[in-house]
Amino acid sequence: MITLGIDPGFARCGYAFIEAKNSAYKIVDSGLIETFQNQEYNQRLSFIYTQLDELIKKYKPSNAAIEELFFSKNTKTAIKVAEARGVIILALTLNNIEFQEYKPKEVKSQITGNGNANKDAMMKMVNLFTGSNIIQDDTADAVAIALAHASRNRIFNDIK
């Protein structure tokens, strides 16, 4: 079963497709969907949608998880991220992918045991759990979101 984790962003959107194998997790693919300031606003949103749609069609995840919007002091940035989340949710919905939303503290707590963990602690645990060497924080966050969701699903399925 492949799980998609998404760290939404307007300039950089992290994604990770992970697969649970026995008690281990393997990263199938991960990276960034990047847009640039010299692109038209609507083109940036369209690019996020089309790139994610292509990735979903390629890897066919059975479920997904996305980080809830974290309200920052910069309203303009928050609005851009909210609009990016909108096209991300549209891509998931049009591909019939059920998704769960997670607060950043939930993911941090599940991955590191500390809801206030910093980026370095998150990256260290993500690399430990997956045997990878991710150095980009948006990608590591997407992997962490996917891991948190996949492990919750595994626990839930074991209880059934």
pLDDT single digits (tens) 83-98: 999 999 999 999 999 9
**Per-residue pLDDT, 74:** 78
- 29 known member of a binding site: no
Cα gap 99→160, rounded to integer Å: 20
pLDDT at 9 over 60: yes
* pTM for the model: 0.92
**Phi then psi dihedrals of residue 29, to 5 deg:** -160, 150
Q: Is 67 known to sit in a ligand binding site?
A: yes
By annotation, the residues acting in catalysis are: 7, 67, 138
Average pLDDT rounded to a whole number, residues 69-81: 81
pLDDT value at 152 more than 90: no
Cα distance between residue 62 and residue 56, in whole Å = 10
Q: Is 7 marked as binding a ligand?
A: yes
Q: What is the mean pLDDT of residues 106-128?
A: 94
pLDDT at 47 over 50: yes
Distance CA 63, CA 153 (A): 10
Please choose, from the candidates 155, 145, 159, the residue with its C-alpha nearest in 3D space to the C-alpha of residue 61. 145
Is the C-alpha dihedral spanning 117, 30, 46, 107 positive or negative? negative
Instruction: Reply yes or no on whether the pLDDT at 158 is more than 50.
Output: no
Cβ atoms of 67 and 107 within 8 Å: the answer is: yes
CATH topology classification for 2-159: Nucleotidyltransferase; domain 5 (3.30.420)
